[in-house]
Amino acid sequence: MTNERYPVVPEGFNDSEPPRGIGSQRLAVLGDPVGHSRSPQLQLAAYRALGRRWEYSRWRIPAGQLAAALDARSQGWRGFSVTAPLKAEALAFASEVSADARRSGAVNTLVFDSLEPGAPARGENTDIPGIVRAFGERGLERIEGVAHVLGAGETAASVAIAAQRLGASRIEVYARRPERAEALAERLGDGVTGRTLADWVLGGDTAFVGDTVPGGYVLANDIGPVPAGAALLSAAYHPWPTPLAERWQDASAPVVTGLDMLLHQAVLQVRLFGGDTIDEPLPNEAEVVEAMRAALS
């Protein structure tokens, strides 16, 4: 398989609908900003490994414009990966959404029923099971204690739900605007509380910290020592390491990186884009995952 036969990773991004290339089907990541996204590297590596001549680009769509942009799309689109700040808009755009997407209030994957411009979209959130898979790969099967989630956006909701799924006894959501943390906690239900980010400190029962602050939480006060065995998920991957990741590395505590999360949610997206269910493995999936991992490095 050569680059002449298969689409290559695009440079930069498009401010309007990306032009059609040599691929038989079209995919893209949507967001603003989106130029930093590593999704094209991941997705195109998977399609080369699977023998699919599909193309994947970056499409910058500002907040509030997702529905108008996608309603005007041309023929050939299989689906989209969706990143900030468009995940809630993608939820509203989809004709059908999964339980995870509805509960989190976020769709990060849109899959069209056909390649026709007017085809309806199904919405899914692969971040939640992707986080669980990333933890499992690090040998972290359960959260035995309290989970702290920093931030109150769509990614924070996904991290909190994943923490619940991994067995956290209680979840505390910390945000700069406490009303946002409280609103997310109320939506997620019993066992979740909302608090002010300025008051965040580590406790002896803290078993997990999920840092979803854009660029990584900057240490502004003494948060205390990292509890023995406590795991960190740092959703940011550029720049790396984040301040909290450095703190965890210094303590020799387990870290799940933003690239771990990105990789494993992308594997699930590839399943969905190919017409499979989220739980149905790809052909030779282990080899596909390794090709995707190599593309990140």
Amino acid 208 reads F
The full 3-state SS of 152-195, as one line of letters, equals CCHHHHHHHHHHHHCCCCEEEEEECCHHHHHHHHHHHCCCEEEE
Q: What kind and span of H or E run contains 27?
A: strand 25-31
- Chain position carrying tokens 């398989």: 1
Q: Take residue 289 and report the two structure tokens written for it.
A: 């995952």
For the beta carbon of residue 227, count every other beta carbon within 10 angstroms. Answer: 19
**Helix then strand then coil, % of the chain, to nearest 5:** 35, 20, 45
Residue 87 annotated to the active site: yes
200 within 8 A of 218, measured Cβ to Cβ: no
Catalytic one of 26, 87, 122, 247:
87
Distances (CA, A) of 223 to 205, 206, 244: 14, 12, 10
- Which residues on adjacent β-strands are paired with residue 58? 29
22 within 8 A of 277, measured Cβ to Cβ: no
Q: What is the largest CA-CA distance in the chain?
A: 56
57 within 8 A of 18, measured Cβ to Cβ: yes
- Work out the angle at residue 52's Cα, subtended by the Cα atoms of residues 51 and 57, and round it to the nearest 5 degrees: 130
Backbone angles phi, psi at 147, to 5 degrees: -105, 135
The residues that are catalytic are 87
